[in-house]
């Protein structure tokens, strides 16, 4: 089994192994002496893995129930959280009891937020089942929900006490969701690890996904440990995200997946870096080729002006500038404060 130890305020382990989901009960028992467990999942993932997880917990003596919400980002709302609170209270859960988040990013964000706030905070365990959640959102302790005015506007930092990653869950994912996660995997290579980038170029990532996942969560772990509340280094994780987020917004979060938007954003910003002679020549082309290999888009019809306009309206609160993440070269990244008024020229 691969183990990545995360030394945040309350340290925890990320365990990676095929078939691990069936051992949830014993793994949870090793970190928790709660008597009750509420597994929170969505209708897609619950139908496939819900019984395995619940039975494994029951076999270890946990009094276990499962809360299932309808799958989809549109349900990442406070009234879903409210239903979770009621369900947990009706089950007489105390402060000593435990939430298990079983699913992709939406489930992890919401179950984590319910755990962060129920009785002012109870423990939770993450079992991320999408590639994106495994390599990205299961590390860092961000939890939350969307409100009408924007995504993830309400939330809390709450670290899990354990993360269980079973790469076999990827076999039940539609292909779009695999490439979605690859956007973030490629990002890690770009910002911190040229060797990872080369491995992704030379091999099929899905043949060695256990190893790739361990490398990605280790990179994120290192960054988050040094910057738990997101002030400095953690910004590097936003490579490709500033422009990507604008693209997601242009398409109302429906036309492009997160990973697709990040892929386009990474290529655009690398090209901009090359034009400004900040980024080694040829980097953008390598990123583009790698994204294509993993079936990610690398360009979009939206104009630099459209994208810059959205950034401007997004970043109003932080003043007249935006921190762009750029590459010196593949594997070596930095942030550059850029005035919003110059953004269109920079990326155009
Ligand atoms: Mg992301």
Whether residue 328 has pLDDT greater than 60? yes
Distance 279 CA to ligand 1 centre (A): 22
CATH topology of domain 175-204+228-347: Dehydroquinate synthase-like, alpha domain (1.20.1090)
> If you ran DSSP here, which 8-state letter would residue 139 be given?
S
E strands, 17-69, in order: 36-42, 63-69
For the entire predicted model, the pTM comes to 0.93
Distance between CA atoms of residues 98 and 115, nearest Å: 8
Q: How many whole angstroms from 249 Cα to the centroid of ligand 1?
A: 14
Q: 97 CA to middle of ligand 1, Å?
A: 30
The Å distance, Cα 221 to ligand 1 centre, comes to 15
Mean confidence (pLDDT) of the chain: 94
- Give me the phi and psi of 17, to 5 degrees please: -165, 145
How long, in residues, is the chain?
A: 348
Residue whose entry in the numeric block shows the structure tokens 């104009």? 303
State residue 317's pLDDT score: 53
pLDDT in tens, 190-212: 999 999 999 999 999 999 999 99
Distance from residue 257's CA to the centre of ligand 1 (Å):
10
Q: How far is the CA of 286 from the centre of ligand 1 (A)?
A: 20
pLDDT tens digit sequence for 296-326: 999 999 999 999 988 887 765 567 888 999 9
What is the predicted pLDDT for the residue at 57?
A: 98
124 CA → ligand 1 middle, Å: 22
- The C-alpha angle with vertex 282 and arms to 281 and 288, in degrees rounded to 5, equals 140
Span 239-246, average pLDDT: 94
Q: Under 8 Å CB-to-CB from 108, ≥6 apart: which residues?
A: 101, 126, 128, 133, 137, 138, 143
Whole-angstrom CA distances from 206 to 63, 77, 185 are 36, 33, 11
Cα–Cα nearest to 109, from 124, 98, 94, 97: 124
Q: In whole angstroms, give the CA distance from residue 309 to residue 316.
A: 11
Ligand 1 centroid from CA 36, angstroms: 33
Residue 241 Cα to ligand 1 middle (Å): 7
Query: Residue 132 C-alpha to ligand 1 middle, in angstroms?
Result: 8
Q: What is the 4 CA–ligand 1 centroid distance (Å)?
A: 20
Same fold, 2-172 and 175-204+228-347: no
Q: How far is the CA of 61 from the centre of ligand 1 (A)?
A: 37
| Domain chopping of the chain, boundaries | 2-172, 175-204+228-347
* Strands, E assignment, the chain: 2-6, 12-16, 36-42, 63-69, 98-103, 123-128, 142-147, 150-157, 162-165, 321-329, 332-339
- Does residue 22 carry a pLDDT above 80? yes
* Residue 253 in tokens: 């979060």
- What is the pLDDT averaged over residues 90-105? 97
pLDDT given at position 9: 82
Domain 2-172 annotated CATH 3.30.428.10:
no
Cβ neighbours of residue 343 under 8 Å, at least 6 residues apart? 308, 311, 312, 322
189 contacts: CB under 8 Å, gap ≥ 6: 196, 197, 199, 200, 290, 330, 331
Distance 95 CA to ligand 1 centre (A): 31
Spatial separation of the C-alpha atoms in residues 91 and 38, rounded to whole Å: 9
């Amino acid at each position: 089994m691969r183990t990545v130890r995360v030394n945040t305020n309350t340290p925890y382990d990320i365990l990676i192994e095929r078939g691990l989901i069936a051992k949830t009960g014993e793994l949870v028992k090793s970190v928790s002496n709660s008597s009750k467990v509420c597994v929170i999942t969505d209708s897609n993932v619950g139908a496939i893995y819900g019984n395995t997880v619940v039975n494994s917990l029951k076999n270890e003596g946990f009094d276990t129930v499962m809360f299932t919400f309808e799958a989809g980002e549109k349900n990442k709302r406070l009234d879903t959280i409210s239903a979770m609170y009621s369900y947990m209270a009706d089950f007489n859960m105390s402060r000593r009891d435990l939430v298990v988040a079983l699913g992709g990013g939406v489930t992890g964000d919401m179950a984590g937020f319910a755990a962060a706030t129920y009785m002012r905070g109870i423990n939770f365990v993450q079992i991320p089942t999408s590639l994106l959640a495994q390599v990205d959102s299961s590390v860092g302790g961000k939890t939350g929900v969307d409100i009408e005015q924007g995504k993830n506007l309400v939330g809390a930092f709450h670290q899990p006490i354990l993360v269980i990653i079973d790469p076999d869950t990827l076999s039940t994912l539609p292909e779009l969701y695999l490439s979605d996660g690859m956007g973030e995997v490629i990002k890690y290579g770009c910002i911190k690890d040229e060797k990872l980038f080369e491995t992704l170029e030379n091999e099929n990532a899905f043949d060695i996904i256990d190893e790739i996942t361990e490398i990605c969560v280790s990179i994120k772990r290192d960054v988050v440990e040094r910057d738990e509340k997101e002030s400095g280094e953690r910004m590097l994780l936003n490579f490709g995200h500033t422009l990507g987020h604008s693209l997601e917004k242009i398409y109302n979060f429906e036309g492009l997946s997160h990973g697709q938007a990040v892929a386009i954003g990474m290529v655009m910003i690398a090209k901009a870096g090359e034009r400004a002679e900040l980024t080694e020549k040829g980097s953008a082309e390598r990123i583009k080729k790698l994204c294509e290999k993993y079936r990610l888009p690398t360009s979009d019809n939206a104009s630099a002006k459209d994208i810059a306009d959205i950034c401007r309206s997004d970043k109003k609160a932080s003043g007249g500038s935006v921190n762009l993440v750029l590459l010196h070269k593949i594997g070596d990244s930095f942030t550059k404060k850029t005035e919003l008024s110059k953004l269109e020229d920079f990326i155009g």
